[in-house]
Structure 1
Amino acid sequence: MLRIGLTGGIGSGKSTVSALLVERGAVLVDADVLAREVVAPGTPGLAAVVEAFGEGVLTPGGELDRPALAAVVFADPAQRARLDGVVHPLVRARAAELVAQAPQDAVVVQDVPLLVETGQAGSYDLVVVVQASLPVRLERLVQRGMTEEDARARIAGQATDEQRAAVADVLLHNDGTREELAAQVEAFWAERVAGR
């Protein structure tokens, strides 16, 4: 099994890279998907979040009210650390279960937005980092419906490009077109994965 950690800042194009790797046969374990799964209605994770932050983080239907929770945690590093302390161990445990279910010869790509921030770089055979310039990332995030102020705040709350580059085995640059990014992914796959 080849375990690849994939990361990059918000708006860098990480999801596009993960999709391109899946097209080539990789098994994807997406931390963002798992983070939603572990706090779904009826889960111990949601109960723990409510215990930590109160009923105000629930929608009237009993689901996690993500904007309400984000308003609490992104404004206060201590509250964010508290949330991370609840969610991150659950996500890691679920990811480990999924990796264990993959075939022995699989290429497993773990898409982990906070790979650097949570000190997980040493857990992978290869770390792939997707980078894009700040203006490009801001433009992408605004196109997704974020205000520029919110986009800047989210970017500022993550590791820097330099911190991510320091743990990268492979850097993919994504200021251009999808085709240019796909060519980089193809070269990476041919050089580092297919011939292993």
Structure 2
Amino acid sequence: MKKGKLIVVTGPSGVGKGTLVRSLLERHRDLYLSVSATTRAPRRGEIDGKHYYFVSRPQFQEMIAANELLEWAEFAGNLYGTPRRPVEAQIDQGRWVLLEIELVGARQIRANFPEALRLFILPPSMSELERRLRNRSSDSATAIALRLDRATEEIAAASEFDFQVINDDLETALKNIEAVLFARCP
């Protein structure tokens, strides 16, 4: 059996990573999306085990100590990480696993899984990124300002990744990602 592939998707908050990943999963049913663990409270409509594994901070810290996470990071006061076993099981079964993660975690993956394909999603501009964050209507003005500051730092790291894709138009961005995946990972 052919071994699977680990594909990391990252970029600043509001760039459209989630939308792109959901669209890829709809188009390519053979892809597997890793479910992250987090210490944050569930948002309305989120289901434990589907959107995230919601765990307490002590449980998360136990997972770190037991080396049960491929990567982890703290973001906005909460811990996020990728449980190791489900990802490794899918790769061993020959599946391609998508990780939608933050920059800190993506850097950890680079160190631990250098064979992973790493994609960085860029906004067409900072003003467009700000517009998208404001249109979400889920963050305060202070939180948006913090996300934009962090985005500037994250975008500066885009060259660390194997490929960069600008998410200006959803369909174009999807086609560019598919070209990278299916040309690079036969």
TM-score for the superposition, normalised by structure 2? 0.67
Q: Which residue of 1 aligns with 2:23?
A: 20
CA distance in 1, matches of 2:103, 2:178: 24
Q: Which residue of 2 aligns with 1:44?
A: 59
> Residue 5 of structure 1 contacts residue 126 of structure 1 at CA under 8 Å; is this kept in 2?
yes
Match of 1:166 among 143, 159, 163: 159
CA distance in 2, matches of 1:169, 1:152: 28
Q: Percent identity?
A: 19
More displaced, 5-14 or 34-43? 34-43
- Where relative contact order (Cα < 8 A, 6+ residues apart) is larger, the structure is 1
Match of 2:96 among 92, 101, 107: 107
User: 1:185–1:118: structure 2 CA closer, same or farther, 3 Å change rule?
Assistant: closer
CA distance in 1, matches of 2:119, 2:7: 7
Q: Which residue of 1 aligns with 2:175?
A: 183
- Per the TM alignment, residue 104 of structure 1 is displaced from its structure 2 partner at its CA by 2.4
> Residue 20 of structure 1 contacts residue 185 of structure 1 at CA under 8 Å; is this kept in 2?
no
Between Structure 1 and Structure 2, how many residues are aligned? 153
Q: Which residue of 2 aligns with 1:7?
A: 10
Q: Which ranges of structure 2 fall in alignment gaps of 5 or more residues?
A: 41-51, 63-74
User: 1:117–1:26: structure 2 CA closer, same or farther, 3 Å change rule?
Assistant: closer
CA distance in 2, matches of 1:20, 1:189: 14
Q: Alpha carbon RMSD of aligned pairs, Å?
A: 3.2
Match of 2:150 among 136, 148, 157: 157
TM-score for the superposition, normalised by structure 1? 0.64
Q: Which residue of 2 aligns with 1:56?
A: none
More displaced, 119-128 or 136-145? 119-128
CA distance in 1, matches of 2:57, 2:150: 30
What letter is aligned with 1:185? I
What letter is aligned with 1:137? L
CA distance in 2, matches of 1:116, 1:101: 20
> Residue 39 of structure 1 contacts residue 45 of structure 1 at CA under 8 Å; is this kept in 2?
no
> Residue 115 of structure 1 contacts residue 121 of structure 1 at CA under 8 Å; is this kept in 2?
no
Q: Which residue of 2 aligns with 1:143?
A: 135
Q: Based on CA coordinates, which of the two structures has the bigger radius of gyration?
A: 1
Q: Which ranges of structure 1 fall in alignment gaps of 5 or more residues?
A: 48-72, 75-79
> Residue 6 of structure 2 contacts residue 117 of structure 2 at CA under 8 Å; is this kept in 1?
yes
CA distance in 2, matches of 1:11, 1:179: 17
Provide the secondary structure at the position in 2 that maps to 1:5: strand
Match of 1:126 among 117, 120, 142: 117
